[in-house]
């Protein structure tokens, strides 16, 4: 049940109870003026407005009803008629000057071109990551071979290097594999592997050394992280070296146009 129906029900109850005239409290819905009267007046005695006058057994009750009714509607309460349905007007019937104008599109061409240009320029970190270090090193090897006129048979002196550790060569599938003594190995552990390799390949010898600290800066740029493997036999017998020795090294050119080294 709505608020208005509750109020009207109370009003009917109050106005239809006693036959004898009696004073009731009334409150104007328009101005809120509260007074006493024998019957409901048509207009407010205070503001003279033809507004609904709400009765009550007490002044507070009448004033409360008027306040509640004022919150629901500002018009006098009558037999309400249903509100007319909204009329839909076809767009073609709207006058030209009243038709909503389409919003102008913002020009975004300049901003789009700027974003494309920024995306097309890689930052320095990305450029460094895309550098092919292997290709750069191979180019330096080719330049070093050409500068020193290296060949496949006779080593050409290219400076000195410092021995770090020694090892032996295993031949697997016609390719050399270097087994070097690691820093965490004991001499007995390395000797056990060495003797096992000699049992399979009797010609195995301690014939290579891992070196670093090469004296030629151009040669160092040709090496992976500055390390190189040096053969301890350049055709005149196998040399014996130990870690910490500074040795003279010679360079060869392989058929694949790469570098190999030997002690000289």
Mean predicted confidence (pLDDT) in 139-149? 93
Which percentage of the chain shows pLDDT scores above 90?
A: 42
Give 106's Cβ-side CA count (13 Å radius): 4
According to the model, what pLDDT value does residue 75 have? 45
Is the alpha carbon torsion for 182, 183, 185, 186 positive or negative? positive
How many CB atoms neighbour CB 212 within 10 A?
Answer: 14
pLDDT reading at 43 higher than 90: no
Q: What is the CA radius of gyration of the chain?
A: 54
Strands 228-231 and 175-180: unpaired
Mean predicted confidence (pLDDT) in 211-220? 94
Task: Give the model's confidence band at 76: pLDDT under 50 very low, under 70 low, under 90 confident, else very high.
Answer: very low
pTM greater than the 0.85 cutoff:
no
According to the model, what pLDDT value does residue 54 have? 81
Mean predicted confidence (pLDDT) in 124-136? 67
According to the model, what pLDDT value does residue 19 have? 44
Q: pLDDT (tens digit, 9 = 90+) per residue, 101-115?
A: 666 555 545 555 554
Mean predicted confidence (pLDDT) in 177-194? 94
Judged by DSSP in three states, 213 sits in coil
Is the alpha carbon torsion for 79, 82, 84, 86 positive or negative? positive
According to the model, what pLDDT value does residue 216 have? 92
According to the model, what pLDDT value does residue 77 have? 42
pLDDT reading at 35 higher than 80: yes
Is the alpha carbon torsion for 256, 259, 261, 264 positive or negative? positive
Distance of alpha carbon 211 from alpha carbon 164, whole angstroms: 5
**Orientation of helix 3-15 relative to helix 59-72, angle to 10°:** 140
According to the model, what pLDDT value does residue 31 have? 85
Distance of alpha carbon 5 from alpha carbon 11, whole angstroms: 10
Tell me if 37 sits within 8 A of 23, measured CB to CB: yes
């Amino acid at each position: 049940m709505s608020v208005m129906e509750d109020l009207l029900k109370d009003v009917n109850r109050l106005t239809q109870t006693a036959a004898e005239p009696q004073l009731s409290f009334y409150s104007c819905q328009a101005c809120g003026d509260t007074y006493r009267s024998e019957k409901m007046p048509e207009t407010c005695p205070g503001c003279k407005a033809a507004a609904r006058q709400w009765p009550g057994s007490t002044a507070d009750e009448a004033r409360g009803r008027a306040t509640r009714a004022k919150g629901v509607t500002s018009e006098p309460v009558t037999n309400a008629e249903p509100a007319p349905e909204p009329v839909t007007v076809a767009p073609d019937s709207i006058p030209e000057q009243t038709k909503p104008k389409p919003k102008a599109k913002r020009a975004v061409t300049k901003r789009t071109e700027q974003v494309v240009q920024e995306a097309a320029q890689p930052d320095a970190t990305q450029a460094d990551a895309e550098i092919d270090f292997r290709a750069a090193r191979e180019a330096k090897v080719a330049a070093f071979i050409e500068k020193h006129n290296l060949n496949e048979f006779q080593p050409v002196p290219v400076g000195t290097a410092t021995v770090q550790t020694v090892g032996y060569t295993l031949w697997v599938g016609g390719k050399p594999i270097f087994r070097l003594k690691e820093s965490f190995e004991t001499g007995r552990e390395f000797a056990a592997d060495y003797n096992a390799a000699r049992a399979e390949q009797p010609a195995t010898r301690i014939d290579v050394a891992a070196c670093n600290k090469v004296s030629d800066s151009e040669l160092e740029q040709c090496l992976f992280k500055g390390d190189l493997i040096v053969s301890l036999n350049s055709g005149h017998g196998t040399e014996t070296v130990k870690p910490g020795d500074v040795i003279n090294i010679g360079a060869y050119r392989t058929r694949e146009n790469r570098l190999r080294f030997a002690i000289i």
